[in-house]
Amino acid sequence: MSVSVVIRTKDEASRLRLVLASLSQQSHSAEIVVVDDGSSDHTQDVLTEAKRDQNLVLLRHEVPRGRSAASNAGARAASGAMLIFIDGDTLAHPDFISCHVRAHADHAGLIARGETLHLRCTRMLLDPDTGTAMPSEANRVAALSPRDLDRLRVTRDQVLFDFPAIERRAESGLYPGAGPRLLQEIELKALREHSSCSVLWAAASGSNQSVARDAFLALGGFHEAIDINEHRELALRLQRSGHRMVFAEGARSYHLIHRSGWRDPLQDTAWEDAFHAAHPLPEVELLPVFWASLSPRVPFAQEDRIMSLPELEAAATSGTAAWRGALRAVLGLPARGGR
């Protein structure tokens, strides 16, 4: 099966250099499509260097258009029968592509996600290879001993010649913390044990996900008004059109954490307006409630918490609109008119 890996990136040059190195070591060949979504750093220099050794398809948006638009542009430029989406700050295990290919060979008509891990050690580093600090962390990094700084670094030589040295420091979940780790455990359990669950789309991954290119293009790709949870919205459309959501066993990716922050979907909720407008469904309305249920700090009674995707499916079909509205009100979210 021919494969295209689509990387969407913006101002991640030093991390992108490592990501491209990880893709150069894959056990299965693939076309690499990189969409530079309006970077203002030295991303173009990194791509020029990488293109000397790798067969890259390069696109650039002079003005940033967002993750979804960048992904769609990459998919249109790709030639592979299968697309794998990954971010410019996320390393790929050497068998990453092979495991996605295997998942598609075992299951026809699907969308597959792999296992996401993160490298907390890089959070203070602007360049994980050289150990250069984020400007805001310069004093802390300068105070480290050379040995302690080496423990934080993820180098190109490690990516190319000693990937186990990277794996040993990886932790489960896209971000640090008990919440992201628990969410992934729940998502992977559902994918492995509840293949008929109607809300498996909620287990989609934004930076470790594969789909047949024809199916992706036929549905119009990612919803370009959504830049958080665009992967889940796409998976919902694919699942409702008959595609299966499965786990790509062994397809591991490693997020190179940085301190520039992340957009919390329970705080930055603009995505939900477009998502719910496209899919006015109870399960969409309850998605933030499910995520919030995983935190002991959110004041839900235990019986009101949604702690698995089968429970999300059951809650969505229960018809208790008042209960849904009350839980959303606790989170400070507007009431929705889901069926």
CA distance 97 to 82: 10
Q: Is the dihedral of CA 189, 195, 200, 204 positive or negative?
A: positive
In contact, 170 and 119? CB cutoff 8 Å:
yes
Which three-class secondary structure state does DSSP give residue 80?
coil
Quick check: 326 pLDDT over 80?
Answer: yes
Say which amino acid occupies 208.
N
Smallest CA-to-CA distance from 97 within 175, 6, 204, 165 is with: 6
- Mean pLDDT, range 125-152, rounded to an integer: 96
Contact partners, residue 288, CB within 8 Å, separation at least 6:
265, 266, 269, 272, 328, 331, 333
For residue 8, the cross-strand partners are: 35, 87
HSE toward the beta carbon, residue 336, CA cutoff 13 A:
27
Strand-pair category, 125-127 with 82-87: unpaired
Tens of pLDDT, residues 147-172: 999 999 999 999 999 999 999 999 99
Going from the C-alpha of 207 to that of each of 180, 258, 278, 305, 334, the distances in angstroms are 14, 16, 23, 27, 29
List, in order of start, the domains of the chain with CATH numbers: 3-120+171-256 (3.90.550.10), 279-330 (no CATH)
Q: What is the pTM of this model?
A: 0.95
Say which amino acid occupies 184.
Q
In contact, 190 and 290? CB cutoff 8 Å:
no
Contact partners, residue 141, CB within 8 Å, separation at least 6:
124, 125, 131, 133, 134, 149, 152
Q: Is the dihedral of CA 185, 191, 195, 200 positive or negative?
A: positive
Burial class (CB in 10 A: 0-12, 13-18, 19+), 62: exposed
- Mean pLDDT, range 209-221, rounded to an integer: 96
Quick check: 337 pLDDT over 70?
Answer: no
Tens of pLDDT, residues 239-260: 999 999 999 999 999 999 996 5
For residue 110, the cross-strand partners are: 244
Q: Which spans in the chain are helix H?
A: 13-23, 43-51, 67-77, 96-106, 138-142, 146-152, 156-161, 163-167, 178-193, 213-218, 230-240, 270-278, 282-285, 287-293, 309-316, 321-330
Per-residue model confidence (pLDDT) at position 269: 74
Q: Provide the mean pLDDT of the chain.
A: 94
Per-residue model confidence (pLDDT) at position 260: 59
Per-residue model confidence (pLDDT) at position 187: 97
For residue 59, the cross-strand partners are: 35
In contact, 126 and 132? CB cutoff 8 Å:
yes
Quick check: 335 pLDDT over 90?
Answer: no
Quick check: 84 pLDDT over 90?
Answer: yes
